[in-house]
C-alpha cells in the first residue's frame, strides 16, 4: 500500500462536556466528550483507569437511539481519526481512519474511479460506526452487509490494547464486533474493498402498487442491484399501505453528466424549516403529492447516484422536523415465509392510530455471521413515528412480540426502547457475544446507555 492522503493533521486531544443524543433525539444526556487525535491516544484512554460510568465510542451520531451516548460518562469522539491512509492500486483495497465519513470516502474514491459496494441510506456516517452496526444498503441480497466488504480492522480493546482483526485470524472477535455496537473495543482503522465506479448514474424502474403484498412481489424480482419500496402508511382506507417501488442499477452515462456530488451534512432545506413542522395532516398531504407525482410504471429513468442512494441527505437535518421530543424509527427484519407478520404488524399499528410518517421496505439476503448483526434472509421494514405519539411504547412492545415470534429482530442501530428480554429472544447468538465481551473487556470499561438498557453491561 502507498500513502495517499495526509490532509487530516492529528488534532490536539480535546475534552469537554456536551449534550448528546442519537439521530432520533429521544433521550439527550450530558457526557464528557474526549476527542483523541490518533490510535495511541485511544489505547491510552482504554488502558487507564475507567471512568465510573465507563466509555463508549461515537462516530457521526447517526444511530437513532442511545448506542453512541453514555449519560454522565465518557464518550470517545472518533471523528479526528479520519482520512484515507493507504490505497493498494492493484487490489483496490483502501485503509482508512475509523472516523472517516462515507461522504468523504465516496468523494475521494470517485476521483480515482472507485466506489464502495455497500452504502447505507445516509453518507454522513463513519466507517467505525458502519462496522459497529454491520450496516446494509439497498443491495443487501447481492452485496451483503459491510462485513463482506471489510478485509480487516484495527481494534483497541481494554484487555489487549490495539490489535489487527481479520475474519480468518480472530473469527470470534470479528463476529462479535460486526454489529457489536462498540462494545468489544474501539475501531481505529479499517481496510475495505472497493469496486470500480463504472458510471456515476443509475437507471431506475418505478412502479406504483396498491398493497404491501404487491410491493413484496416486485422487490422479490431479482434483476436490479438496488431496490426499495416507500409505503404510504398515512393514507386512509384502501390507500393505507400503497407503495412506490424503485429498483435501480448502474446506467449509461449521458454526455456531459456530472460526477458524484454529496451535500455536506449540515446543508439541505431542513435547516431553513421550523423545528416540529411535521404534523399528520401535512405528512398526509405530502404523501399524497408524492404518490401523485410518481408514475404508475416507468422504466430506465436516469437518476443521479447520490439521489438514488441517499435521498434523505438532500433534506439535511430532517430529524429536527419531528420537534423537541424527536422520533423513533422502528426497524425490524422478518425471515422469508413470514411476510404475513409485516401485514399483521402494520394492521396492529394502524389500529392504534399511530402516525407513521415515513416507511420503507427492503429485501435482505443471508446474514454475515455477526453475533448481534441485524440482517437475516427475508425482509426489513422501517417506520418513523414521532416519539410523542400517544400509545407508542405499548404498541411497539406488541410489535416486538410479533417480530420475535416470527424469528425476526429489531435493528440495534435504530433502537431506543427495546427490553433486555426481547433482545435475548431476537438475537440467539447473544450468549456467545457476552462470552467474547467478558474476555476482551473483563472490567466493563465499555458501556453505553444502550448497553445498560439492554442488560449487556451493568
User: Binding residues for ligand FAD, per CB under 6 A?
Assistant: 23, 56-63, 67-68, 78, 98, 120-122, 125-126, 128-130, 132-133, 135-137, 181-182, 186-187, 312, 413, 448
Residue 9 CB, nearest approach to ligand FAD (Å): 19
Residue 78 near residue 98, CB atoms below 8 Å? yes
If we measure between CA atoms, which residue out of 29, 36, 45 comes closest to residue 15?
36
Taking the complex as a whole, the smallest distance from the CB of residue 210 to ligand FAD amounts, in Å, to 25
* Residue 55 C-beta: closest distance to ligand FAD, Å: 10
Q: At what angle do helices 339-351 and 212-220 cross, to 10 degrees?
A: 150
Q: Kindly state the smallest distance separating residue 368's Cβ from ligand FAD, in Å.
A: 11
Q: Closest approach of Cβ 378 to ligand FAD, in Å?
A: 15
Nearest-approach distance from CB 95 to ligand FAD, in angstroms: 14
252 within 8 A of 203, measured Cβ to Cβ: yes
User: Least distance in Å: CB of 414 to ligand FAD?
Assistant: 7
Instruction: Go through 312-323 and write b for each residue having 16 or more CB atoms within 10 A of its CB, e for each that does not.
Output: ebebbbbbbbbb
Cβ atoms of residues 86 and 194 within 8 Å: no
Decide whether 153 or 400 has the Cβ nearer to ligand FAD: 153
Query: Quick one: CA dihedral 388, 18, 22, 51, positive or negative?
Result: negative
CB-based contacts of 251, cutoff 8 Å, min separation 6:
199, 201, 202, 203, 300, 302, 303
Using the minimum distance from each CB to ligand FAD, give the nearer residue, 18 or 254. 18
Name which of 80 and 398 has its Cβ closer to ligand FAD. Answer: 80
When the beta carbons of 193 and 239 are compared against ligand FAD, the nearer one is 193
Stretch (H or E) spanning 190: strand 186-192
- Compare residues 312 and 344 and give the one whose CB is closer to ligand FAD: 312
Q: Are 85 and 5 in contact (CB under 8 A)?
A: yes
Nearer to ligand FAD, 53 or 239 (CB): 53
DSSP state, residue 315: G
Q: Kindly state the cell numbers that stand for 299.
A: 422504466
What's the min distance (Å) between Cβ of 311 and ligand FAD? 9
User: Which residues on adjacent β-strands are paired with residue 157?
Assistant: 161
Question: Residue 92 corresponds to which cell in the numbers above?
Answer: 483496490
Q: Which pairing describes strands 201-209 and 242-250: parallel, antiparallel, or unpaired?
A: antiparallel
Q: How far is the CB of 56 from ligand FAD (least distance, A)?
A: 5
Q: Which of 358, 379, 376, 380 is closest to 367 using CA atoms? A: 376
Nearer residue to ligand FAD within complex by CB, 160 or 211:
160
Give whichever of 67 and 410 is closer to ligand FAD, judged by the CB atom: 67
Taking a C-beta distance cutoff of 8 angstroms, is the pair 31, 72 a contact?
yes
Of 151 and 239, which CB lies nearer to ligand FAD in the complex structure?
A: 151
Stated as kind and residue range, the H or E segment containing 378 is: strand 378-386
3 state DSSP class of 153: strand
Amino acid at each position: 500500500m502507498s500513502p495517499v492522503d495526509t490532509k487530516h493533521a492529528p488534532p490536539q486531544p480535546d475534552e469537554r462536556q456536551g449534550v448528546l443524543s442519537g439521530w432520533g433525539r429521544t433521550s439527550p444526556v450530558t457526557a464528557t466528550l474526549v476527542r483523541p487525535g490518533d490510535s495511541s491516544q485511544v489505547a491510552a484512554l482504554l488502558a487507564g483507569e475507567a471512568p465510573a460510568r465507563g466509555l463508549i465510542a461515537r462516530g457521526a451520531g447517526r444511530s437513532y437511539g442511545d448506542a453512541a451516548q453514555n449519560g454522565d460518562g465518557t464518550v470517545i469522539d472518533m471523528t479526528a481519526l479520519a482520512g484515507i491512509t493507504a490505497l493498494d492500486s492493484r487490489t483496490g483495497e483502501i485503509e482508512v481512519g475509523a472516523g472517516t465519513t462515507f461522504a468523504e470516502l465516496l468523494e475521494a474514491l470517485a476521483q480515482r474511479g472507485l466506489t464502495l459496494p455497500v452504502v447505507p441510506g445516509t453518507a454522513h456516517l463513519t466507517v467505525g460506526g458502519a462496522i459497529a452496526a454491520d450496516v446494509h444498503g439497498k443491495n443487501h441480497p447481492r452485496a451483503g452487509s459491510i462485513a463482506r466488504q471489510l478485509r480487516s480492522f484495527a481494534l483497541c480493546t481494554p484487555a489487549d490494547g490495539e490489535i489487527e482483526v481479520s475474519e480468518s485470524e480472530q473469527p470470534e472477535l470479528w463476529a462479535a464486533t460486526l454489529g457489536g455496537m462498540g462494545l468489544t473495543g474501539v475501531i481505529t482503522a479499517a481496510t475495505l474493498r472497493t469496486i470500480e465506479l463504472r458510471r456515476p448514474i443509475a437507471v431506475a424502474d418505478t412502479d406504483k402498487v396498491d398493497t404491501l403484498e404487491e410491493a413484496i412481489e416486485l422487490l422479490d424480482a431479482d434483476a436490479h442491484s438496488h431496490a426499495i419500496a416507500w409505503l404510504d402508511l398515512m393514507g386512509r382506507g384502501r390507500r393505507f399501505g400503497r407503495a412506490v417501488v424503485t429498483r435501480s442499477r448502474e446506467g449509461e452515462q449521458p454526455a456531459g453528466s456530472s460526477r458524484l456530488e454529496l451535500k455536506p451534512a449540515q446543508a439541505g432545506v431542513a435547516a431553513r424549516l421550523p423545528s416540529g413542522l411535521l404534523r399528520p395532516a401535512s405528512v398526509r398531504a405530502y404523501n399524497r403529492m408524492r404518490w401523485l407525482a410518481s408514475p404508475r410504471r416507468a422504466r430506465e429513468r436516469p437518476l443521479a447516484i447520490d439521489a438514488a442512494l441517499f435521498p434523505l441527505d438532500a433534506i439535511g437535518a430532517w430529524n429536527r422536523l419531528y420537534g423537541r421530543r424527536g422520533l423513533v424509527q422502528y426497524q425490524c427484519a422478518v425471515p422469508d415465509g413470514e411476510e404475513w407478520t409485516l401485514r399483521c404488524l402494520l394492521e396492529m399499528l394502524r389500529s392504534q392510530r399511530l402516525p407513521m410518517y415515513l416507511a420503507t421496505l427492503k429485501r435482505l439476503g443471508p446474514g454475515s455471521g455477526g453475533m448481534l448483526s441485524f440482517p437475516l434472509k427475508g425482509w426489513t421494514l422501517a417506520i418513523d413515528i414521532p416519539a410523542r405519539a400517544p400509545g407508542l411504547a405499548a404498541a411497539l412492545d406488541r410489535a416486538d412480540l410479533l417480530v420475535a415470534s416470527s424469528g425476526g429482530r429489531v435493528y440495534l442501530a435504530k433502537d431506543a426502547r427495546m427490553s433486555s428480554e426481547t433482545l435475548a429472544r431476537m438475537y440467539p447468538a447473544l450468549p456467545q457475544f457476552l462470552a467474547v465481551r467478558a474476555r476482551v473487556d473483563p472490567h466493563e470499561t465499555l458501556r453505553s446507555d444502550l448497553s445498560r438498557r439492554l442488560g449487556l453491561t451493568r
